[in-house]
Amino acid sequence: MIERPRGTNDFIPPESILREKIIKLISEYLKIFGYKLIETPIFEKSELFKRSVGDTSDIVLKEMYEFKDKKGRDLVLRPELTASVVRAVIQNRLYNNNHLKFYYIGPIFRYERPQLGRFRQATQFGIEYLGNPSFLADFEIIFLTQNLYRYIFNNFNIKNIEFKIHINSIGCNNCRPNYKQKLYEYFVNYEKDLCQDCQKRLNSNVLRILDCKNMVCRNISLNAPKSVDYLCLECKNHFENLLNLLKMNNINFVIDNYLVRGLDYYNRTVFEVKTILDNNTIDLAGGGRYDYLANFIDNNYNIAGCGFAGGLERLTLIINNYNPQKSFNMIKILFSLISEQKGLGIFKYLLSTIENINTNANLLKDNYSFYFSIDNSLKSALKLANNMDLDYIIFIGEQEIEKNIFQIKNLKTGKQKEFSLNEINLLVKNINDFLDKLNR
Ligand SMILES: [Zn+2]
Ligand SMILES: [Zn+2]
């Protein structure tokens, strides 16, 4: 047996159907707000991430899948997408000093210890808003992140979700060097107590000590200087304007002084969106502003940017745990019709109705799938339905035609009901109503 590599997944039904549905919801929602799909290669030059994410970040130091191709070029399976999107914007000359809005969904690769909801190949989705340095863009991103998740959860009947935004400002190239110096002066007093990684970070990337998970480092960090106390006037105004706008719109946030996010390209706003379900705090997504990223990639460019990214696997895990109805399962319906003139006529009619399904948004939304069989007995139709694990059977046999009726049977509950054959022209369009009448 050759098994799949550690930390990867096969997505099989019903999981694959759930994923498909979420992806559809994501693109549906983001399009309304003017975001357009962008797709970039799964592998990029290593240099792209070393320069942008930063060569002292955990991602670049420990987690990248790097390889050389047959010509000896240094390539990497992309560990994230923001750098790729900005690279694509520059390379395709998309930037014309206007606002650009993109969304993406695709795999990322990180060599890390696999754990619940975390894999070596993971699916990330997110948005990037380029060309707008104003706090209004930061607000739009945070607002959209929260509401995109709300939209998806509502679609799976997970209601009354509370979100909490953790937010911080890590300043700009004018004010951050001073803050880093203050951090260094603070942490150097505890050099011997810090974990090995943080001892290295002290000289290479002192900011990253703040989000170390080690308990000793965390305790030392509690009294460390806060970035918000060292912001220059411009950064301070940007942050305060953003917070005011969040307040005005009743968005629940806390200032998290030790939120820095582990990527070098962030400046000013960094944030994480969390939710509380059954007393568990769950991280949903994170993001921030990255006004220097374009310049890291090509120093002819300066493009302001802001975005977020979230994980699809984590989201499906939550929906699987909390969706009360498991409504992502397709409702599978078998039409079973007798092979005589009238039965075949109805068969042709139903097929043409279903062919026109594109105009029937309700049907698509509710995830029905239809199957057909031509059977002369209910018995043989039931056998087929059982083998295929179907939910309903709609049966029109000899007796039914005689009595001018058709039968609908719920195969999971055994309930069965007769309807007038005169109503057959309403059946596909109003399938919800028919099933309600049967199940009630
Ligand atoms: Zn600043
Ligand atoms: Zn540490």
Per DSSP, the three-state class of 340 is coil
Cα 129 to averaged position of ligand 2 atoms, centre (Å)? 33
- Judged by its nearest atom, the ligand closest to the C-alpha of residue 234 is 1
Q: Which ligand is nearest to the CA of 230?
A: 1
Nearest of 348, 321, 318 to residue 335 by alpha carbon: 348
Ligand that comes closest to the CA of residue 228? 1
Percent of the chain surpassing pLDDT 70:
95
Q: Where are the beta strands (DSSP E) in 3-69?
A: 36-37, 43-45, 65-68
| pLDDT, mean over the chain | 89
CATH fold label, 331-439? Rossmann fold (3.40.50)
Residue 45's SS3 state is: strand
Q: How far is the CA of 289 from the centre of ligand 1 (A)?
A: 13
- Residue 211 C-alpha to ligand 2 middle, in angstroms? 8
Ligand 1 centroid–CA 177 distance in Å is 10
Q: Which positions ≥6 away from 89 have C-beta within 8 Å?
A: 95, 100, 102, 130, 294, 303
Q: Which two tokens stand for residue 306?
A: 């802001």
pTM here is 0.81
Q: Tell whether the model's pLDDT for residue 114 goes beyond 60.
A: yes
In the chain, where the domains are located: 15-175+231-322, 331-439
pLDDT mean over 406-432: 87
CA angle (174 as vertex; 58, 269 as ends), nearest 5:
55
If you compute the radius of gyration of the chain from its CA atoms, what whole number of angstroms results? 28
Q: Looking at residue 129, what is its pLDDT?
A: 96
Give the number of whichever ligand sits closest to the CA of residue 175: 1
User: Which two tokens mark 44?
Assistant: 């990029």
The length of the chain in residues reads 440
146, 165 Cβ separation under 8 angstroms: yes
CA of 263 to the centre of ligand 2 (A): 16
25 Cα to the center of ligand 2, angstroms: 39
Nearest residue to 280 via CA among 309, 252, 254, 317: 317
User: Measured in angstroms, how far is the CA atom of residue 228 from the centroid of ligand 1?
Assistant: 10
**39-85 pLDDT, tens digit each:** 999 999 999 999 888 877 888 888 899 999 999 999 999 999 999 99
Backbone phi, psi, residue 135, to 5°: -60, -20
Nearest bound ligand to the CA of residue 208: 2
Instruction: Give me ligand 2 centre to Cα 214, in Å.
Output: 5
Q: What is the arithmetic mean of pLDDT over 391-399?
A: 87
Q: Specify the CATH superfamily of domain 15-175+231-322.
A: Bira Bifunctional Protein; Domain 2 (3.30.930.10)
Give 140-161 pLDDT, tens digit per residue: 999 999 999 999 998 888 877 8
Sign of CA dihedral 380, 385, 391, 396: negative
CA separation for the pair 428, 440 (Å, rounded): 19
CA of 268 to the centre of ligand 1 (A): 7
With a cut of 60, say whether residue 363 has pLDDT above it: no
